Structure 1
């Protein structure tokens, strides 16, 4: 064979040759610095349908970005195989590919029909609940759209950012909230969705999503690696549509999510909103001020270490957990299957800090 398959790659198989399709291509950013690109990322698929993530470092983006197009098949040679990252992987693999300045990329049109365009590892709604604030591997979710909200704005850091809320339903009639941020909120075409609804249920795929919590409620959230597909022609979507058509799940009409009109307050303004002294805060009646935010400027006089410098924390909400029947329990989240991991800062003989 003149090229290797992706599942054959390991740390001992360096500088090989692969034939793949670029299924997804995105610039990796973080919300507070979204104008600063960290790397160029790709999801690659080979003729066996096996997928692997590839990365191009920031200083190599200018060289390779014009040479790579989503959906096209390429031969790639002289790349590095490296361990996968600990966070924000779009596929759960032990290794990933690093494209560097010595890598060669050549487009091919020969026998490309055998390579799939898409690859998903769908997570059901019950699985989502176990992914709260766990960004090791981003998740793919499939469902029908049941509610759409308008575009509104909020501050992320010091910049106003578009946001849009949706709701999706699974084949068991359960619903789950989704939040689209930034370009995903703007580019989501709700008029097209309502047009498609007149023909039948609108099935949507959210790929590369993170799971977040707002006021103790879970929701799916987009990030720079996310992708949205509507009525994609793949077997999983067809199966879901058949389930709805056979009446095995309730087909809900798409409703509108109402958004209360509130003034958009900058972080600087928030620092001084509802300013109170400590005496004022103590005098407040908790029943009268529920869900009202206040600010207070105070000086930290002392740290109370009566109960030590650390505590056993829940992996999800970071609240305290208690030992019970050989495991740990959180009053908010229930059983914690993972034991707490102690994190320490120590000094070496060279006075350098180590974790």
Structure 2
């Protein structure tokens, strides 16, 4: 499964999906990224994912032609040679120097996805994210959002009030990050290295997953639960201290979650 390969930089994967949204070329923030990129939103009928094409790979894909062609029928692409990550609960794939894209090719994998997605809308839309990200968050609830299609709410901001019911222990609570770009560092010969930067200095940052329910939920049997991801500053705000300080309290028991983190179970939060 692709989820088993999350954050592996040595294992490349192939993924195929119906393309339903694309972004314009996204320019890199100054000093933060290697190149421009383009993102595509895909689905195989049951799983949704984002695909990021970097540099030359982004240039080679003629999205204007894809959008025009999608008016006549579905655009299904096989992406070969991708790394697998995760962002906000979705699989996030990124291109490499060996990535290749095969559009509506006569391949069994593409035919299979075509069959599984035959009842889904197939016209590709532009997804700039600008209007959605700049707009005020929309008041909502976990119960309401659970009824939405994932593709319809990508990039949207919602304001929800929720109560944490548990923390997923198996997912841990932090990762060793690059001090410059925040990417996950790769252990190497007793030290660390960043896949993009030259830094070898590790800094723990929060990354934990909680199970949550609407604050005003009273019916335990019909309550809708959601897994919410807390990264970096959002984790600091919830716990009340930096990850480095929190980890100092469990140096002798690294396999358990810190008490100060477990203390947020049962508490109510408002986030957007």
TM-score where L is the length of structure 1: 0.36
Name which one, 1 or 2, has greater alpha-carbon Rg.
1
TM-score where L is the length of structure 2: 0.46
